[in-house]
Every structure is written in structure tokens, then in C-alpha cells.
Structure 1
Amino acid sequence: MASTKTSPLSFPLLLTLTILFLQPLVSSIIIEEATVQDLQLAFKNKSLTSKQLVEYYRDNIFIQSPLLKAVIVVNPDAMLQADAADKERDALAPGHSLGGLHGIPVLLKDNIATKDKMNTTAGSLALIRSIVPRDAGVVSKLRQAGAIILGKASMTEWANFRDFDHMPSGWCARTGQGKNPYNTKGDTCGSSSGSAISASANLAAVTLGTETDGSILCPSSNLAVVGFKPTVGLTSRAGVIPITPRQDSVGPICRTVADAVYVLDAIAGQDSNDDATIEASKYIPSGGYKQFLKINGLKGKRLGLLKDVFFNFGDEPDLAQAFDRHFSTLRQKGAVLVEDLDASKFLEAYNGIQEYEILATTAEFKLAINSYLEKLEASSVRSLKDLIEFNNKNSKLEKIEEYGQQRFLEAEATNGINNKEKEAIQELAKRSRDGLEKLMTDNKLDALLAPFDSAAFILATGQFPGVIVPAGYDKEGLPFGLCFGGLKGSEPTLIEIAYGFEQATKIRRPPSFSRSSY
């Protein structure tokens, strides 16, 4: 990488000037913040090619990656894919059209396998030069849709499962510490940190992240982007470095709700390598998800507002005022905010639930990661035990003394799914039924409101979907989001709600690099 030292200009100023200088050279449209629909229109009007678009994002990555640590690698075949997309578009017969993601560059979180010249490593040095058996299921669908695989985004190493207590969000051995472009002293959150940074800082048109518990919703909240965590199984997890198939999900992280929906339409559906997709595919509506991008989508929606549970901000009146304004907007747009809810049973259901989640996922992780590693080619790491040994041998590079690997050690000490693990899994399902499911069905709710990622563990343990939308910025300039969560298969309703809120507020703004202290 080029040195980040500059003189006499400060780097933030030089960065801004460079981006502004590059922009007119790319095309006659403004690419920064351009939506998928904007880009497709530019393709159609021949004011932009996929090759130019890839060049633009590649240049942005080159300029910003030394600072933000958001991208591990740019796909060496991205330009070839772009050229192929341009040729397909030029050869298209009049009156015909290609898919919404055709020719659109997509960055993937580094735990999503690609059978190409790039490594898939979960941010770790341990899997460099390993060879995956095939593309991940979602990657196959992206390729079928004509999308360009732009590269691999950084992430909290091993999806933040190596060590909960010591490893900071956004750190991995392959890139170092990811930075929040709104204020580099702020938290990126994880583990899909690189995907969220990249979407927010305009390093890609759209990105993919993964979530086991909060890993899409939290970084999206912290980086002023839209994160969509689907119902578990709605998108394939085959070829994704796992934590637990019971909770793992793959979803879009984008700058707008519409862009996230375009991605969801492309990646949702059955995959013979992931049995969960067979059951979940029943939720996919005929005609896809784009039909639910309705400007009046909030009208008549019943939104659960447990104000004392989720929106009690104590000595932070600015946050309270910001969300009160959003509640007013939701009502003005026709939503019904249901506040007379019995929170006692809801809270009782989730009291201590994370202890069951940890017990179950620790054992599930060992089984899942061993199964994944066994299928790799050209890898000396074939098991969790091998990973632990690799980290010990490379402790300085992997920062074992500082960041630890306690969860790895705890997982290695497990021995399958025994009675206590089965009881924990059963308890998680029961508490989800007694918690969110009961609250929503008894009160005929369309969605539950929650700030930031505060309801992430509720959605995660219940295998429920959630979408988070930019909702404001705190006094440090750091973003925060508003999350809409629902029951399994409620993606159409959540899209209507999230899109309606986004269009009514339009809060997102791109990061201003001159405001960040590099």
C-alpha cells in the first residue's frame, strides 16, 4: 500500500480533492451515493459502463483503504467481469432488459466463499492460500444475476467469535483495525464492519454481510447504511464460514432500502447445499420483493413501541428527542404506534437468554467450523484445534496476547450437542415464542421498533428478520439507526415500513472525511 503521509496538504483534504478530481473523469453522472436504479439508468443511457464503474470503486478503495481498512482485496478478475457485462448489455436486443444487479459491483464479506483468485479467510491469516470447493450459494446467485464480484471486505476476525471480551470490533489480522469514516475514534461495530464501511464510504455499489447476532444490524446502525438481516434460511449459508447454522444469515448492507431489496431479490431462494432454504423459500413472494417499495408503505402499519424497554436514554436527551421526532413522523405517515403493551412477559422471556445462546452456539460452532474446514483444499488448517495451534504459533501477527482466543478454547472443549445444549436450544425457541412472537401476534403488530441494534439478539435467537435504517447522528457525528423487526417471512411488510420511513426522513449523508481525525 502507498504511504499515507502527505505534505503539505493534510490527508483528509487531499483525499477529498482527489475524489472530486476523479469523479468527472468517470462519467457524466455523479457516482457517489448513486443507487442501483441510478446506475442502471446510466448504463441504459450509455453515460456509464460497468468497466468505468469498477475503475471508480477500485480507485476509491485504493485511496481510502489505507485509512479505513475496509477492503482486504480487489478481485483481479473484476475488470474482466465488467467488460463481459458491458458486452452483454451492448448485445441486448431492443425491448429486452437484464436483471437489476447486472453489471453492478458487489463487495463480499470475507467469510463468503468465492471459487476464484481471491482467498476466503474470515479475516484470518490461517486460511490464506486455502481453496474452497465452490462459490457460496449467494455468490452463485449474484453471478447468475450478472453482478460483478468486486472484492472481499474486511470483518471482525472469525465473525467476532474468537474472543468476545478482548477483540475490538472491526479488527482482523489481514487488514488491521477498521475505522468509522464519520469519526475514526468511533466504533464500527461488527462483524460485518468492512461491508458497512465500504457501503457508507462509497467503495462499492452494494455489499453483503452476514449475521449470527447483530453483525449486520450493528455496523449498519453505526455507519449510516441500511442493513437487512433476513429470516434464517431465506438466503443460503452454504459456503459461508459458519458460526451456527441455527442463526447464521446472509444479507445486504447498502446505502438505501431499495438497493438492499435489489440485492435480496438476487440472493434469496433455494440452494441444494443448504436445507434451510427449502423451508424458508415458502416465504418468498411471487414477483419478488421490489413490489413492496411503496412510498405509502407506513399507512396502517401497527408498530410495537416498548418505549421504557428500548428507548430509555437516561441522560442523553438529544437521542430521546430524535426518536420522538421519528415517532411523530411515523404517525404522520399513517402508522399506528402501539404503546399500551405488557412488557413484563416480554422481558421475562428474554431475561438471561444470552446464556442459553452462548451455551448452544459454542458447541454448534465447533461442529460447524470443523465441517467447513475439512472440505477445504490446500489448507494445513483442518479443524478448530488446528486454528488454535496456528494462532499460538503466529501469536504476534494474530495478536493473541492482546485479543485472545478464549471462545475458540471454550468451543474446542465441547463434545457435540448433548443434553444441556439441546435444552439450551429448546429454551431459545420457547423464549422466542413467549417473547417477540407472542407480543406481535397478541397485539396484531406488523413490526417492533428498536434503536440501534438493541433488539438484535431477539431477532437472532428467534431466526427473525430485521432491517435497520439511518435515523440520525449524535453529538460526535456518529450515526445511529432505527430497526424494524418482525416474525419469520415478514420481509415484505418490513420493506414497506423501512422504505416508507426512509423516504419520509432521508437522513443518510455520506461521511465527510475532513471531519474525521485520521
Structure 2
Amino acid sequence: MTRLPLSLSLAALLLASTALPAQSADPALAWASIKELQQRMDAGQLRSEALARLFLERIQRIDRDGPALRAVLETNPDALKLAAQIDRQKPKGALRGIPVLLKDNIDTGDRMLTTAGSLALADAPPAPRDAGLVARLRKNGALILGKTNLSEWANMRSNHASSGWSARGGQTRNPYALDRNPCGSSAGSGAAVAAGLATVAIGSETDGSIICPAAANGIVGIKPTVGLVSRSGIVPISHNQDTAGPMARTVADAAAVLGAIAGSDPRDPATAEADKHATDYTRFLDPNGLKGKRIGVVRGLAGAEPNADRILEQSIALMKAQGAVIVDPVELPHLKELGDPELTVLLYDLKQDMQAYLATRTGTSMKTLADLIAFNKREAEREMPWFGQELFEQAQAKGPLTDKDYVEAQAKAKRFAGPEGIDVALAKDHLDALLAPSWGPTFVTDPVLGDHVVSGDPTVGGASQPAAVAGYPSITVPAGFAHDLPVGIVFFGAKWSEPTLITIAYGYEQHAQAWRAPRFLDTVGGKPVMADADHVLEMTR
């Protein structure tokens, strides 16, 4: 399939809408919240079409030109037409008129591709239907603005990959310091929201792929309970751990998006109980949400990076001042025993789940993981210029999900992370949530050696693994800066505890006020690469 260069596609988009006269939007609205934008729309002061035009212009100027973030793979060729339709119909959904970017492993039943960043699917027709969560976004009035770059195949191809790199999109850059990594695999979603290229975005996580890029790019990320948000129409790694979730600049925006996408879907049996728990999560936005909450500090997930530890201590002091009861330290059982069974489960699941997903795609010869491996070998110059596909190959060597090794690993991983891990820690001290640094300040992008951080890395840290393996929720919020680089803290807790975590995170956010816009520095301590006033605009909360 022949694709227009993005610059030409954007130029065509900006001329495409004739339903409404062109309307200029205030550049400050690139940083505005969902509530602020909808208040303007309701008052007749802003059209969705103008807002979409603003973001499309910013994508051209910031993502393709200027700093060249490479966060957005593709914009929706029908974005302005759809925005004009929203303006005419005035839907009542929670996200009415709000532009949303989707990670490029999420199907859309429109003219955009879904490739997981790989050239193997770049010539395939678009997906035949919307992913479950995309259908919910549209029902709630959202405008699907485009697809974001990602770590190819959601960072499950090689242990030596550079997060944010895909053969289709190149290397995503961190908007705070362009030589630093955006972390993965929802790298483009994190960088795009941080840079004001959309109001909100959707990422996905198997282990760390929402929490790390949100923290590295100075935004909020919610990794929901597995089964709260449908995975139908999402390129998979593991049905045991995969979930999609919101990435936003504020807890309020993330909560609004979560409420819009949560719910049961017959296409994903794991969501059978979702309707019992899905709700309007903005109901839990209490500025005094820390008062009386019992929060346990998991020191076993700290101590790896001094800047992250410093910000953790400052955050603990703030929480105490706002009435939280801090239990410190809290032991999380089996913390060092999760890695091996988790990897075994992911490798088995990848082979089986990928084949099931590819069966839903028409017009492509890619039907199995073996087909993808063979494609990468044929296209090694383009697909494997820096790193290989040893995880793909290890997964291909695995047998069926009835294998004893898989059954035992799956049972052990779930038990150690959930009932004998997080649940035990919460119950012992009657805790509402657990706390740790999300990650240390992000590392320099290194295409030769790959990422310098994985969950549990002894030099940089990473606290995503327990909640990811258990299938429990977690939320990261901005907490401070180290040498111009954002650092976050993460709250995680019991299954279906999103309301409690959102209350705690919002209470913390309102008093910490830790967010600030990126400056697009060429390096830490360097100079901005773009002469643009709005990149230092502070968002009023």
C-alpha cells in the first residue's frame, strides 16, 4: 500500500475540511485539560475542528520538524471531517470533541494502519474493525487523531532493543532532553502527550510499558486491572498481563479517559466482570484524598537511584503533611522471585496470542510468529539494523499452553505477585496502597547496547513488575525533576482498586504540583532546539 509522506498527509488534512470555516485555536489550549476544553466548547468558544487543527499543526512543527520527536506515526486522514461532524452533532459523551492518540498496536476500523511499528504489517490493509476500547472512545465523543510510535512489537522482540524505536517510525525522542529515551513501549504516547501533541493518549502495558514512559515523560499513566479494559483488537504479548490504559498530563484527565474505555466486551472474556467495576472515575478526584489513607513504602523497589530516592522522600513528607499514614518499610514477599516465571509465561503467550490476533487481519501473509521471524530475516537491513529478535525466537520454540512448564510458571507468577505478594503486604498493615519510585530519571538512548533499564534493574530501578504480573492496577504521577528530567512515583494496590488509587494520586498531585512543560533541550543542561514560547507554558490546575 502506498502511503503519503506524513508532511503531505498533514498538509492535505489542513485543507480538507470545508464543512466549517477555519477557526484558529489559542496555542495555550494544547496544554488545557479535558474539563477546560469542554467548557469552552459548551460555551461556543471552541470547536473540535479548531482543536484538531491546532494539534495537527503542532505535530507537523514539533514531531516532524523542529525537535523531530518521532512520537506520531500517522495522523487520521479523516480527522478534520470527523471533528466537524462532532461540532455539528454535539455528542454528550465524557470525551466529546477531545483529540486522542492511540498506540500503533490498537486497531481502528478506518483508513489508518495498525502495525505495532513493524514493516511486516505496513503493507497490510487497515484492521477490519475498531478495537473494543476504540469503539468506546468514539461512543464517548472522542476524536481519534492518529497513531503513536512505539517500541516495535511492544518491546518483546529483543532484550537489546532501544525503547521507542520501530522500523516504521524510527526512534522516538524524549521532549525534556532529546538525547534521552522516552522509555517503552508506549513511548510515542508518552512523548506526544508530554509535548502537547494531543490532550490524551492510550498506551498499553504488559510490564512497565505505561508506567515507565509516563514517568520518563513527566505525565500520568494508569495501568488498569487486567480485565477492566478490553484487549480485543490490540496486538498482544500475553493475555495474562496485557492491558491498555490512559496517559495524560493530569490525574483528572486520565480518570476521565479510564471511565470512557472501561467495561465488559464479549470479544475479551477477561472483561466479564468489568461492568461491575467500571464507573465514572472522576467521582474520586478528592483534593484531600491523602487524608487518612494508609500507604506502605516498598523499600525493596527503591534504593536503586539516588535522584529517585530523594524525590520519594520528599513525596513521603508531603503525604504525611496532608494526613496520610505512612507505613515504612513494607515488605513485598517474593519480590525477587517473579522474573523467571514471568518471562516463561510471556514467551509461551506471545506465540499463541500473536497467532490468534493475526487471524483477525486480512490481506496479509503474516499469520504466525514464525512468519514474522522469517520476514525480519528477509528484511534484516531495515528491521534489525541495531538489535535482533531473540525473544521472538525463544517464544517460537515454546510448545502449547498445556505444557507443564507453562502451567506451573503461570500459577507461580500469579500466586507470588498477587495473593502471596501484594495482597499479603496490603493485609498485614491494613494498607490502601503501596508506594515506590516509578523509575529513575531516564537514560541516554543507545541504539548499540539498547535500554539501560528494565524492571528491577539494579542501576536505575523500576517498580512495575509486581502489579503487572498480578494483573493489579497501578498509577504513576509526576513527583519532581532531576537535572531537567522528570521523575515519578507509583501507587499500586489490590485488584479493582482504581478508585482508591485515583483518590490518592489526585490528592498527591494537587499538593505536589510537580508537572512542568518540556523545554526540548538538546541534552541535559543544554539549550532548547526550538524557539517557541508555548513550550514553557505552565498548565494551571
Q: Please, what TM-score do these two structures have when normalized by structure 1?
A: 0.90
The 5 Å alignment of 1:117-516 reads 117-131=111-125, 132-164=127-159, 166-285=160-279, 288-307=280-299, 309-313=300-304, 316=306, 318-339=307-328, 341=330, 343=331, 346-347=332-333, 349-398=334-383, 400-417=384-401, 418-432=403-417, 433-453=419-439, 454-475=462-483, 477-514=484-521, 516=523
How far apart in 1 are the matches of 2:327 and 2:349? Answer: 37
Matched residue type, 1:332:
A
Residue of structure 2 in register with 1:8 after alignment: none
Does the 8 A contact of 1:29 with 1:47 survive in 2? no
- 8 Å contact 2:175–2:521 — kept in the other structure? no
Deviation at 1:319, TM superposition (A): 4.0
Give the superposition deviation at 1:2.
Answer: 8.9
User: Tell me, which stretches of 5 or more residues in structure 1 are unaligned?
Assistant: 4-24, 90-96
Instruction: State the partner residue of 1:59.
Output: 57
Sequence identity, in percent? 41
Q: Given that residues 364 and 416 in structure 1 are in contact (C-alpha distance below 8 angstroms), is that contact kept between their aligned partners in structure 2?
A: no
- Mapped to 2, the partners of 1:2 and 1:213 lie a distance apart of 31
Decide whether aligned partners of structure 1 residues 357 and 340 sit closer, same or farther in structure 2, where only a CA change above 3 A counts.
closer
Post-superposition shift, 1:380? Answer: 1.5
Following superposition, the deviation at residue 487 of structure 1 comes to 0.7
CA shift digits 1:89-130 (9 cap, x unpaired): 2xxxxxxx7122011110000000001101100001111232
Kindly tell me: are residues 258 and 387 of structure 1, through their superposed partners in 2, closer, same or farther at Cα, counting changes over 3 Å? same
Is the 1:298–1:335 Cα contact (8 Å) retained in structure 2?
yes
* SS across alignment from 1:26: coil
CA contact (8 A) 1:122 1:157 kept: yes
What is the CA distance between 1:187 and its match in structure 2? Answer: 1.7
Counterpart residue number, 2:533:
none
> Partner letter of residue 289 of structure 1?
Y
| 1:35-46 to 2 correspondences below 5 Å | 35-46=33-44
CA offset at residue 353 of structure 1? Answer: 1.4
Aligned length: 479
> Which residue of structure 2 lines up, in the alignment, with residue 70 of structure 1?
71
Choose which of 25, 30, 37 in structure 2 pairs with 1:27.
25
Aligned twin of 1:115: 109
Q: Aligned-pair distance for 1:515? A: 5.8
- Show structure 2 runs of 5+ residues with no match: 8-22, 440-461, 530-541
Q: In structure 2, do the counterparts of structure 1 residues 322 and 125 end up closer, same or farther at CA, with 3 Å as the change threshold?
A: same
* Paired AA for residue 322 in structure 1: I
**What is the CA–CA distance in structure 2 between the aligned matches of 1:236 and 1:337, rounded to whole Å?**
34
The one-character-per-residue Cα deviations of 1:421-476 (angstroms, maximum 9, x if unpaired) are 1000010122122111101012111110010242201011000100000011112x
Amino acid at match of 2:52: V
CA distance in 2, matches of 1:376, 1:441: 45
Distance of 1:312 and 1:372 partners within structure 2: 40
Please state whether the residue corresponding to 1:508 is helix, strand or coil: coil
Structure 2: distance between partners of 1:464 and 1:505? 25
8 Å contact kept, 1:226–1:256: yes
Deviation, 1:47, is: 1.6
Partner Cα separation in structure 2 for residue 425 and residue 392 of structure 1: 31
Shift of 1:340: 5.1
Amino acid at match of 2:173: K
Shift of 1:224: 0.4
Letter aligned with residue 451 of structure 1: P
Is contact 2:179–2:522 with CA below 8 Å preserved after alignment? no
Aligned partners of 1:363 and 1:415 also within 8 Å: yes
Kindly provide the CA deviation profile for residues 316-340 of structure 1, in whole angstroms up to 9, marking residues without a partner as x: 3x54333222111101111100115
Supply the AA of the counterpart residue of 2:379.
N
Name the CA distance, whole Å, in 1 between partners of 2:187 and 2:27.
28
Question: Equivalent residue of 1:31, what SS?
Answer: helix
Aligned alpha-carbon RMSD (Å): 1.7
Q: TM-score, normalised by structure 2?
A: 0.86
